[in-house]
Amino acid sequence: MSRPSRILLVDDERSLRVALSDLIAARGYEVTTAGSGEEALEIMKHNEPDLILLDISMPGMGGLGFFRRICDHSGKPSRPVLILTARSGMGAFFSGLKANGVLQKGCTCDELLDSIAAILPCSMANKTAPVASCEDNQSASLKTHRVLLGEDDPHFAALVRHKFEHEGFCVETVESGPDLIEKTVAELPDAVAVKRILPGMNGDHVASVLAGMSHAGAVPVIVYDEHLDVPEPNLQGRNRSFVPGRNWRLLLNAVRKAVNGR
């Protein structure tokens, strides 16, 4: 049996490395991460990747410095490289590099996975069964709990959705407080998980508004805040709970407890 394709993810942002590596590994790839170009070069001395996901803006030698170090005299890298960048309007610049592709940070999970699969079409990972969609779960014989997630960070939202759906939940992401209230009222999910600091309306205000509604007030709301270790009084109450930090495991446990107690 052939081995899974090896991917080296090089990015100086730790939270992004964790989220993306979990997402990619879930598709069957073997993922190694590095926080700098220098660290990535050391890793490559002992572990040759089949693909490198490379952030450009990093301290030290940076992504471009690393890229040049792994290129031959013609500018072709020794391994396939998919560039990740937060810069917009840089298409002309990156077209001068012999990379296998360029993705804007903030792209969807499907765009990232499709780009990887296009570069590694023969990988065992691409032969694995796809993750079931919400529609697939809803058609199953067992009841699937529906969760609305209020989160404007696409990378953390993707991680939560992946982890929750692995546990049998169906997750839909909403990026603003007002939209989250509107969807909750219209769809009455089994639970709402909302980041406390959210565009348009903070998560604690979302919880308070929903609690005052006759029918939506019964929907459990879990507020989480990466900057708060203990809950403020207005975050606790009937059908409301608080999760300190931004930890998907704690959030999953809180949501599971909330829906099982309904």
106 and 166 co-located in one domain: no
Domain with 168 in it: 134-260
Rounded-to-integer distance, Cα 222 and Cα 132, Å? 25
Rounded-to-integer distance, Cα 190 and Cα 237, Å? 17
40 lies in some domain? yes
Looking at the 3D structure of the chain, how many domains does it have? 2
1 lies in some domain? no
Phi-psi category of 106—alpha, beta or left, where left has phi over 0 and alpha has psi -120 to 50? left
117 and 148 co-located in one domain: no
pLDDT of residue 155: 83
Pair of tokens at residue 63: 């992504």
pLDDT of residue 246: 81
Pick the last residue of a domain from 111, 127, 143: 127
88 lies in some domain? yes
82 and 43 co-located in one domain: yes
Which residues sit opposite 244 in a β-bridge?
225
**What's the average pLDDT block by block, 10 residues per block, for the chain (262 residues)?**
84 86 87 95 94 90 91 91 76 70 80 87 43 45 75 87 86 89 87 90 86 83 77 57 87 91 64
Here the CATH number for the domain that contains residue 103 is 3.40.50.2300
Number of neighbouring beta carbons within 10 Å of residue 243: 23
Alpha helices, DSSP H only, in 49-172? 62-69, 91-94, 109-119, 134-138, 154-166
pLDDT of residue 244: 85
pLDDT of residue 232: 53
Q: Which residues are within 8 A (CB) of 234 and not within 5 positions of it... i.e. 6 or more apart?
A: 204, 208
114 and 164 co-located in one domain: no
DSSP conformation class of 201: S
173 and 69 co-located in one domain: no
